[in-house]
Structure 1
Amino acid sequence: MAAEIKENEKMVIAAFDFDGTIIKRDSLPLFILFAASFQQLLLGSIRMSPFLLLLKLKLIPNARAKERLLGIFFAGLHLNEFNLLSERFISRIEKMVNPLALEKIKWHQQMQHEVVIISASAENWIRPWAKKNGIDIVLATRLQVTDDLVTGKLLSENCLGIEKVNRLLDKYPRREDYILYAYGDSNGDKELLELADHAFYRCF
């Protein structure tokens, strides 16, 4: 009973990973498949192959491989066009949403909890879906834009591992003032799950 009273007195935050948790797959390659032409996919796959091998061998960090991938397919694209693609991508996301995750999100919203998405994917293609589903806070990887053109570089740290904790605490610094629920599916969510009062790994 004491735990219930304590929780009722505090703000409650429900932090959801996106890829593999809210949706069943990784959204980055799916966004590329959605946005790129067949010729771009063919040439891009050839150019990306050495970096994927280095990543698999753990000779380069995930962030560097991600920058290479984004650069190959999107460097030089106008931000408005990139964001328009992100808006249209909602229809693909909705086909991949885990119904159990969506049910849990709706439950938290009904309980007046603050629902937050924390993801290593780019915030550009997460925000439209999040907004449609009543989620205002998206803490995700930010992409660098110069002269309104996507560069392919990351503006922020890749929002993975400890960076998920950093971003959450930057947004909500007084950890003692809220109860944290966290939902994730991979090692990239480990630190966030460890921070939580209620941690859910591959379950809801």
Structure 2
Amino acid sequence: MQTTSSPPAGLEPQTGIAPPMPPSAATPEPLPGAMPESPVSGPAGVAFFDFDGTLIHGDSLPMFVGEVIGRRRAALALADAIRSALHRHVRGRGPGCDFPGSVKAIYLKRTLRGLPVADALAAAERMVPRVRWHQPMLDVLKEHRRQGRRVVIATGALDLYMPALLRGLEVDDLLATGMEVVDGRLTGRLSTANCVRLDKADRVTGWIAGHGPVAATWGYGNHPSDLPMLALMHKGEVVRIRRRSNRR
């Protein structure tokens, strides 16, 4: 029996962007002390983007699990994972480093354990047309590329499905949460740290150290989970996706 923790598929830069869903408003908000220029002004460097709630609407993980076991079962499993994590944390036995991490660990183990990798990759392909892209931030990403900057996606989403969702975007690298694979099947356990909050900041710090020197860094994420990453940037922007009201 052999265990591998490498992502199941590579990510190659390609051209074009998947068609976005109907537009919504976004308000990137500079962190305290950020410079007032446009978020895409300045010298060549690297732009780091969160994925869920920044480049797309909502959370991609329940969508993926829904493609694997069905949407209704996925919703029920998530509710049950939240209850289980709450009970375990009350007793000081949560499997994650914090409550959200425990929910994720329980959810993944109960829904993905034993799943063949081939089935996971097929579910990822089924996700592609369902993703609701956030056009304003896609435009920001494209502008960074136009100005010759590298683009890195740093996300807590799983490395199983992210390459399929990013296909067609000009992305240079992907920092995501890895799933453990044994004999071609998922064990339900993570093979990397959960790439959120402080762990995401550590992954980004390591990437910069390994790919430097870097002239300047830009970061885009949502509040509060991405604040540790954004604090590392020369320019960090908090993204809040707001739906437009249908009322006139």
The number of residues matched between the two structures is 195
Does the aligned pair in 1 maintain the 2:180–2:186 contact within 8 Å? yes
Amino acid at match of 2:214: D
TM-score, with length taken from structure 1: 0.84
Amino acid at match of 1:187: P
Q: Write the distance in 2 (CA, Å) between the matches of 1:63 and 1:117.
A: 20
Q: Write the distance in 1 (CA, Å) between the matches of 2:150 and 2:157.
A: 21
Structure 1 unaligned regions, length at least 5: none
Which is further off, 171-180 or 47-56?
Answer: 47-56
- Equivalent in the alignment of 1:67: 105
Does the aligned pair in 1 maintain the 2:176–2:195 contact within 8 Å? yes
Structure 1 residues 34 and 57, CA gap change in structure 2 (3 angstroms): farther
Is 1:118 the counterpart of 2:151? The answer is: no
Q: Write the distance in 2 (CA, Å) between the matches of 1:162 and 1:58.
A: 24
Note the C-alpha offset of 1:24: 1.5
Structure 1 residues 112 and 73, CA gap change in structure 2 (3 angstroms): same
Matches within 5 A, 1:175-194: 177-194=214-231
Cα deviation digits, residues 139-170 of structure 1 (max 9, x gap): 01111111111111111111111211211222
Residue of 157, 166, 169 corresponding to 1:130: 166
Q: Write the distance in 2 (CA, Å) between the matches of 1:160 and 1:201.
A: 15
Cα deviation digits, residues 81-129 of structure 1 (max 9, x gap): 1012112211112xx1111011111111111111111011112221112
- Equivalent in the alignment of 2:204: 168
Partner SS for 2:209: coil
Partner SS for 1:163: helix
Residue of 169, 179, 185 corresponding to 1:143: 179
- Equivalent in the alignment of 2:22: none
Note the C-alpha offset of 1:79: 0.7
Residue of 65, 76, 79 corresponding to 2:117: 79
Is 1:197 the counterpart of 2:234? The answer is: yes
Q: Write the distance in 2 (CA, Å) between the matches of 1:97 and 1:39.
A: 23
Partner SS for 1:89: helix
- Equivalent in the alignment of 2:84: 51
Aligned identity (percent) is 24
Does the aligned pair in 2 maintain the 1:130–1:136 contact within 8 Å? no
Q: Write the distance in 1 (CA, Å) between the matches of 2:71 and 2:218.
A: 41
Amino acid at match of 2:111: F
Q: Write the distance in 2 (CA, Å) between the matches of 1:41 and 1:133.
A: 28
Structure 1 residues 39 and 100, CA gap change in structure 2 (3 angstroms): closer
Partner SS for 2:140: helix
- Equivalent in the alignment of 2:69: 36
Note the C-alpha offset of 1:130: 1.6
Q: Write the distance in 2 (CA, Å) between the matches of 1:75 and 1:39.
A: 18
Structure 1 residues 137 and 145, CA gap change in structure 2 (3 angstroms): same
Note the C-alpha offset of 1:74: 1.1
Does the aligned pair in 2 maintain the 1:21–1:184 contact within 8 Å? yes
- Equivalent in the alignment of 1:98: 134
Partner SS for 1:138: strand
Q: Write the distance in 2 (CA, Å) between the matches of 1:38 and 1:200.
A: 33
Amino acid at match of 2:199: E
Does the aligned pair in 2 maintain the 1:130–1:138 contact within 8 Å? no
